[in-house]
Amino acid sequence: MNLPLPDDVTELKAVIGREISALRADVRRKAGTRQPAPTTLDRASPVQSTASAATLPRRHEGVLSTSCMCGTDDEDKRDPWSCVCAALPAVPVSAALLTPLRDGNGEVVDFVIRAGNHIRSVEWLEAPGHQAGRRFMEARPGAAASGLLAALADVLATGRPMDGLVVDYTEERLGRLHRAQLLYYAASCGGELVATWRPVRSQAELLTVDAQHLASMGWGHWDLLSGKVTWSEGLSRIFRTELNMPWSLQELCDALLPADTTAFAEFITAVLAGEEPAWTRIRFLVLGEVRTLDLLGRPVAGTDGRPWAVHLVARDLTPQMRSRRRLVETERETERLRQQADAERRVADSLREALLPTHSEELAAVGLTVAAAYLASEPDSAVGGDWYKCRLLADGRVLVAMGDACGHGLDAVARMAQQRHALAGLAQTGAAAGEIMTWLNELVCSDPSGETATVIAGHIDKDRVLHWADAGHPAPLVRREGSAFALTAEQRGPLLGALPGYAYETSAYQLLRGDLLVLYTDGMVERRGEDITRGIERLANAVGAAAGLTPRQTIDRLVEEHVRAGHDDDACLLAIRVD
């Protein structure tokens, strides 16, 4: 399709609206028109005439009732709560039926868990169904201190339901303290109480939100057929809007700086036309502030090749622009350098803990044991440009990546964070490793610093096949049956940022049970005056010599040998065993 490139917002919004309307009309035409269901039955209908009185609602003393599907047919003996008990296993969050226990004054002092389902809200809390018959304070000893017991009692006393109460629940188990933020809902009827609860956020959600915040990134999804729009918290933060009130594509146009209308029109029409990836830098006016964003657009196409949804990834460059203007205008160069050094230490201290988790418990659940280590070249440096990523994705695959952002200091740390979390955002698209690397290359090429980076990234699928792409990074090692060797990529691509528009390819390798996959940065294998291949051979021999050791033990031995030999550069190690 050939869409015009308007030069004003009103015309651009009209073009987007016409394209979406045309898409919906075409889909309706191809799908056919669904006939509406009849709203009434003809008086002579055989369906109506064969209905028996036993299947119709019955009234007793003015109350409409229906035949119960559980318990006895004798209404005098039927337990009305047995239906609730039978339905609890179908509730997708933790749920329980609670019976109050009262003191001599009629005050609620506890509950008995009459029934529950088998959903665990957090891994260290038992499912309510396993605690049926126990007192609530015995099963949930932290309920009183957190205010939960009083809140549940208030539901019984007032009859008002509990609608999304956030409870900071703390409990000691096996000598260790655990805390979780739980969201509770409860309602009473007939002197009983039904309660449900779930985590306010999962650990993966919390890490994703932190990642977007650290990298000043966000992403959004526009369903062109239904009109539904979904934004991440990072994108809502960039545009200063509520998470549950995302903007349509037309509303996004209203925030454009007039001078960038044509550039955004070229970008969005390219995405609507099914071209991928589309990349541009656009300025928006958000609450009186000009915000500069790098946008990556990807169409979501159907089998007919026509896009039915749009996925955008945004990187907010505004803080960087603001910082550069401030540095240019300052007259106190010495003070500027001191502030920058202080900022670097603060950022490095926080990033060391925030950027290097391995999600070991999630990965253990899918049969992988993971260990990692980061070695700083300078004792005062907490983290540099080296990074890794290893986490379970929503589709069951495991994202595996390692990279080295060129440069030094805070700028290298910032680029490392952007690349690492850009990869996390792009991985949400479900694209192949080569496609993700191609998009990541466009991001690095757009960086005004002109710095490059090496990255290796891929996925381990459910069949234990490693699909990976290489952008100038040392190939991973595999330890199998007492020896280790380097994998060979079908095509090793150039460094990120070196060649715009380069299309990276995906290589595949079948891992076996007991294999140990080792990823590393060049700081582990480079020595002055020595070919890097010698360093890779030396590392492979060390990995093979550690046969029989766990991933953690293997990493510790490699680190000990590396430190003893001395090193001039930062280094990262990641070991993944297939169990």
What digits encode the pLDDT tens for the residues 480-492? 998 999 998 778 8
Q: Could you give the CA distance from residue 272 to residue 250 in angstroms, rounded to a whole number? A: 13
pLDDT of the residue at 100: 94
Residue with tokens 């309510």: 128
Burial 319-357 (b: 16+ CB within 10 A, else e): ebeeeeeeeeeeeeeeeeeeeeeeebeebbeebeebbbe
The model's pLDDT over 176-231, given as tens digits with 9 standing for 90+, comes to 888 888 889 999 988 899 999 988 765 555 555 555 566 578 889 999 988 899 99
Strands (DSSP E) found in 155-261: 162-173, 176-189, 192-199, 217-223, 229-231
Banded model confidence at residue 254, pLDDT cuts 50, 70, 90:
very high
Name the most confidently modeled range: 171-185, 268-282, 541-555: 541-555
Between 105 and 73, name the one with better pLDDT. Answer: 105
Mean per-residue pLDDT over the chain, rounded: 82
Residue 513, pLDDT above cutoff 90? yes
375 against 68, higher pLDDT:
375
pLDDT band at 346 (very low <50, low <70, confident <90, very high): low
Please give the residue that has the higher pLDDT: either 334 or 523.
523
Tokens representing residue 389 in the block: 């990523």
Residue found under tokens 């549940």: 152
What confidence tens digit (pLDDT) does each residue in 23-74 have? 888 877 876 645 444 444 444 433 333 333 333 333 333 333 333 334 445 5
Query: What contacts 10, CB < 8 A, 6 or more positions away?
Result: none
Domains and CATH numbers, the chain: 9-27+204-323 (3.30.450.20), 91-200 (3.30.450.20), 358-578 (3.60.40.10)
Task: With 0.95 as the threshold, say if the pTM is over it.
Answer: no
pLDDT of residue 251: 93
CA distance 141 to 122: 16
Q: Look-up: residue for tokens 């749920």?
A: 95
DSSP-based three-state secondary structure for 484: strand
Residues 94, 119: Cα–Cα separation, whole Å = 5
CA distance 244 to 533: 53
Identify the H or E element spanning 557. Answer: helix 551-565
